């Protein structure tokens, strides 16, 4: 490595944000040209470092000496902006490496995004970066901008939008144009942006490297991202864990929700796990806030700036319009906030401020009577601010022309200062007069968030509330049950070796090594033996022909259930063997499994699928039609923490079935959590050997739980 630096992860990324000198290859006086824009912007913003235009066609560009090539520059160069056609890029980069340049930003398109040839050229860039230690951003990117020190290494005109708001937000985007638009919209809405990075094709540096780096930036308190797909799931995980630890929210707009490109999978879990479900699960697990629209990110950033606690999620709505109040209440409840009825002392206080025909229940309707009577809304807001028991957040939709009342605007401020609760003003329009603008400014300067789009604001409040709960909880790495002893672990490794698939019996032997409880059962190799085993187990029993080559046993007719006598067992023994032979004549049949019948429990499924980005992902759901027809399942990435396991159970729509319904006792939740954690341990320890796993069904009993059937797919070699 010629530049002497380590060149992976965040190493050397600081040179993109704080370069002491910048050269622009393909520099131009023409501000309309891609190579002309950054030069003009650097000068206009007052970049304090040295600027070196590079272009063999000129002696001078923008009043600065222009050099024919990087190698002609007499000084050291920290960062180079490459704005030349793709065919010329590699040679320029080689010169950069020779010169000892630390960081190169490549705007040029025509690489990995255009097919195999471009991909091969991009690979050469990656190799050069790895060998030289020079970090590369792009190719095919909009570049980078660091507002604090006027590093305008970009040609996106949206990034020239200025703001006086305190800087909080850094943006990292896999789409330059989309990301630049996010930047512009956030800036115009009053969110101060610290930096913008368009990662392009990620030949060297990638999305997660920048997120990781920016988390250490004191001017970045919140990070927004646009992501099409993470290159390295483990890296994104590390960055997300760091974000949660530092309590800097990471908001990502992840596109591609459709199930396009579903992967071939033989297990049930595999077929239920679309790439988007896995991303969704990963985000929830890691405390990444998934946003659906850039405006949600802006609203979140505005709310987050007030530093107040939204985590309780109980909202009071104060409106001058009954209809709007109800609509907002509906929206709040839809997104997971609650709008509790207000009772007792606070209700009495509210009613003293309300007209006789108003409503103090929540949403609180002041009616048009509040117009010109600031004491009405202010009395209500005060009562809610003082309510310590039921309300966490106050939303006001002031249809009472607060912007025309200096007194009321001042009251908002005074009330806000008197409480620690968030108070959010939902405005209908931007101020339409100087007078109104002064009221907005007064309220905003006190720190009160003013938002315009009620629906997006409500989503943002719900997400901030969720995020704050998640951040408080942190990621406690409490994976529960201990790993098995090294000898059992080695035995499992041995069982998973080789290509031949495991039968149900084989899978269960393996599960037992990890302390996962399975049905009482034994393998019979004759009808007499089956009868003897059945008597020992106690009737009724189930019989299942065992072969690693017959994975779909019901379809093959090799299962017989509820056998209640010796005679039934003898008959079933013959039948399942005959069916096995006709279904798969070549299959090696190990014998017939004689198994206890498990009753009185709730059937669930626990599965594992291997995600190409994040590795083993664990699925949980209720069995039977819930999983088949409703896809009522939850996912998390292994290894699970206890909190992850709890969340997986609580997330499914049918969770009440586990709590005991219609006179049934509740299922043993702790036993279920224990199994989820043991499965997580198993697939984490043997991630290189297990591709898929299904415990289906796993029956959760009032006390304990048992795996009734299991399938483990060894890693295809
Ligand atoms: N060293 C220095 N200057 C060089 C050079 C070299 N090796 N090779 C070419 N140049 C100069 C040219 O003389 C030209 O100068 P001029 O502006 O005075 O004419 C300048 O570099 C640019 O070259 P040109 O051929 O005019 O290219 P261009 O400006 O039309 O396009 C790109 C260059 C990089 C903008 C274009 O190839 C491209 O990739 N565009 C798409 C960019 C994009 O959208 N990226 C982000 C997607 S998210």
Distance between CA 652 and CA 661 in Å, rounded? 16
- Best residue among 26, 89, 180, 200 to mutate for probing ligand 1, ranked by most atoms within 8 Å of CB: 26
- Integer angstrom CA distances of residue 360 from 319, 344, 597: 11, 11, 57
* d(CA 127, ligand 1 centre) in Å: 23
53 Cα–ligand 1 center, Å: 13
Measured from CB, residues less than 6 Å from any atom of ligand 1 are 25-26, 28, 33-35, 54-57, 83-85, 88, 92, 107-110, 140-142, 176, 200
| Per-residue pLDDT tens over the stretch 396-451 | 987 667 777 888 899 999 999 999 999 999 998 888 899 999 999 999 999 999 99
Distance in Å, CA 472 to ligand 1 centroid: 49
Q: Residue 377: which residues within 8 A CB-CB, separation 6 or more? A: 318, 320, 353, 366, 370, 396, 398, 400, 402, 408, 411
Instruction: Please state, in angstroms and rounded to a whole number, the distance separating the CA atoms of residues 583 and 498.
Output: 24
Helical packing angle, 669-685 and 486-495, nearest 10°: 70
Strands, E assignment, 75-221: 79-82, 103-106, 135-137, 143-146, 151-154, 167-173, 192-198
Q: Is the pLDDT of residue 220 over 90?
A: yes
- Total number of residues shown for the chain: 717
- Among 633, 631, 613, 615, smallest CA distance to 692 is for 615
Q: How far is the CA of 15 from the centre of ligand 1 (A)?
A: 23
* Ligand 1 site-directed mutation target among 39, 85, 157, most atoms within 8 Å of CB: 85
Tokens for 123, please give them: 């690979």
Going by CA atoms, what residue is nearest to atom 4 of ligand 1? 26
| Residue ID of nearest Cα to ligand 1 atom 2 | 55
Q: Is the dihedral of CA 637, 641, 644, 645 positive or negative?
A: positive
Strand residue runs (E) in 66-133: 79-82, 103-106
Using the predicted structure, report yes or no on whether residue 266 has a pLDDT greater than 70. Answer: no
Ligand 1 atom with minimal separation from the 30 CA: 17
Q: What is the pLDDT of residue 6?
A: 55
Q: Ligand 1, residue 36: give the atom nearest the CA.
A: 17
Mean per-residue pLDDT, 55-63: 95
How do residues 605-653 score in pLDDT, each as one tens digit? 999 999 988 999 999 999 877 677 778 899 999 999 999 999 999 999 9
Q: What is the pLDDT of residue 690?
A: 95
Q: How far is the CA of 113 from the centre of ligand 1 (A)?
A: 18
- Are 236 and 215 in contact by the 8 Å Cβ rule? The answer is no
The answer to whether 223 and 248 are in contact (CB under 8 A) is yes
Name the more confident of 375 and 482.
375
| CA-to-CA separations, 550 to 17, 503, 520, 577, 588, in angstroms, rounded | 58, 8, 21, 12, 9
Atom of ligand 1 nearest to the CA of 91: 7
Where residue 274 falls among pLDDT bands split at 50, 70, 90?
low
pTM for this predicted structure: 0.92
**Ligand 1 centroid to 26 CA: how many Å?**
6
Of ligand 1's listed atoms, the one at least distance from the Cα of 33 is 29
Q: What is the DSSP string of 364-399?
A: EE--GGGTT-THHHHHHHHHHHH--SS-SEEEEE--
- Nearest ligand 1 atom to the CA of 108 is 39
Between the CA of 262 and the centroid of ligand 1 the distance, in Å, is 39
- pLDDT 10s digits, 113-142: 888 999 999 999 999 999 999 999 999 999
3-state helix/strand/coil string of 222-282: EEEEEECCCCCHHHHHHHHHHHHHCCCCEEEEECCCCCCCCCCCCCHHHHHCCHHHHHHHH
> From ligand 1's centre to the CA of 424, what distance in Å?
48
């Amino acid at each position: 490595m010629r530049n002497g630096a380590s060149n992976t992860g965040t190493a050397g990324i600081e040179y993109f944000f704080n370069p002491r000198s910048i050269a622009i290859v393909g520099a131009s006086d023409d501000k309309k040209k891609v190579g002309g824009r950054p030069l003009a912007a650097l000068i206009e913003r007052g970049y304090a470092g040295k600027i070196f235009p590079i272009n063999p066609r000129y002696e001078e560009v923008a009043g600065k000496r222009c050099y024919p090539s990087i190698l002609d520059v007499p000084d050291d160069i920290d960062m180079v902006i490459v704005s030349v056609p793709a065919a010329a890029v590699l040679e320029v980069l080689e010169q950069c490496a020779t010169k000892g340049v630390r960081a190169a930003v490549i705007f040029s398109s025509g690489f990995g995004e255009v097919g195999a040839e471009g991909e091969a050229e991009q690979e050469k860039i990656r190799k050069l970066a790895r060998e030289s230690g020079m970090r590369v951003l792009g190719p095919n990117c909009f570049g980078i901008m660091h507002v604090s020190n006027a590093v305008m290494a970009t040609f996106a005109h949206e990034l020239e939008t200025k703001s006086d708001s305190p800087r909080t937000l850094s943006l990292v985007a896999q789409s330059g144009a989309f990301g630049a638009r996010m930047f512009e919209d956030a800036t115009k809405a009053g969110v101060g942006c610290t930096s913008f990075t368009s990662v392009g094709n990620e030949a060297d540096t990638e999305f997660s490297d920048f997120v990781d780096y920016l988390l250490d930036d004191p001017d970045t308190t919140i990070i927004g991202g646009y992501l099409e797909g993470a290159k390295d799931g483990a890296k994104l995980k590390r960055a997300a864990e760091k974000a949660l630890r530092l309590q800097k929210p990471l908001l990502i707009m992840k596109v591609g929700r459709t199930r396009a490109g579903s992967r071939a999978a033989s297990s049930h879990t595999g077929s239920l796990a679309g790439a988007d479900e896995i991303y969704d699960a990963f985000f929830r697990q890691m405390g990444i806030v998934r946003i659906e629209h850039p405006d949600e990110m802006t609203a979140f950033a505005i709310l987050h700036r007030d530093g107040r606690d939204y985590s309780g999620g109980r909202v009071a709505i104060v409106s001058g319009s009954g209809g709007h109040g109800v609509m907002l209440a509906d929206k709040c409840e839809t997104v997971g906030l609650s709008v509790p009825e207000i009772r007792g002392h606070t209700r009495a206080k509210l009613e003293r401020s309300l007209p006789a025909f108003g409503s103090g229940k929540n949403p609180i309707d002041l009616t048009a009577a509040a117009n010109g009577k600031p004491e009405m809304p202010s009395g209500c807001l005060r009562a809610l601010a003082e309510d310590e028991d039921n309300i966490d957040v106050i939303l006001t939709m002031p249809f009472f022309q607060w912007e025309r009342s200096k007194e009321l605007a001042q009251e908002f401020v005074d009330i806000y200062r008197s409480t620690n609760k968030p108070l959010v003003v939902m405005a209908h329009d931007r101020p339409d007069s100087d007078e109104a603008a002064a009221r907005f400014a007064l309220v905003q300067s006190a720190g009160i968030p003013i938002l315009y789009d009620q629906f997006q604001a409500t989503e943002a409040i719900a997400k901030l509330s969720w995020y704050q709960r998640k951040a408080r909880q942190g990621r406690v790495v409490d994976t529960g049950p201990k790993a098995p002893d090294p000898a059992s672990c080695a035995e499992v490794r041995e069982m998973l070796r080789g290509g031949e698939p495991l039968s149900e019996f084989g899978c269960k032997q393996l599960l037992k090594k990890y302390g996962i409880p399975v049905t009482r059962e034994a393998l019979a190799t004759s009808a007499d033996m089956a009868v003897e085993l059945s008597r020992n187990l106690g009737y009724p029993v189930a019989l299942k022909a065992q072969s690693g080559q017959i994975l779909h046993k019901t379809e093959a007719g090799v299962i017989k259930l509820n056998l209640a006598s010796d005679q039934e067992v003898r008959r079933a023994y013959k039948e399942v063997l005959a069916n096995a032979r006709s279904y798969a004549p070549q299959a090696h049949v190990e014998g017939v499994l004689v198994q206890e019948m498990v009753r009185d429990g709730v059937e669930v499924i626990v599965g594992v699928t291997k995600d190409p980005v994040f590795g083993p992902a664990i699925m949980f759901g209720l069995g039977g039609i819930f999983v088949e027809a409703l896809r009522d399942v939850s996912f998390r990435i292994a290894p699970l923490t206890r909190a992850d396991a709890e969340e997986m159970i609580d997330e499914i729509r049918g969770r009440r079935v586990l709590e005991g319904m219609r006179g049934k006792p509740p299922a043993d939740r702790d036993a279920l959590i224990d199994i989820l954690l043991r499965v997580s341990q198993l697939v984490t320890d043997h991630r290189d050997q297990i591709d898929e796993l299904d415990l289906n069904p796993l029956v959760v009993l009032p006390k304990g739980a048992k795996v009734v059937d299991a399938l483990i797919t060894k890693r295809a070699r």
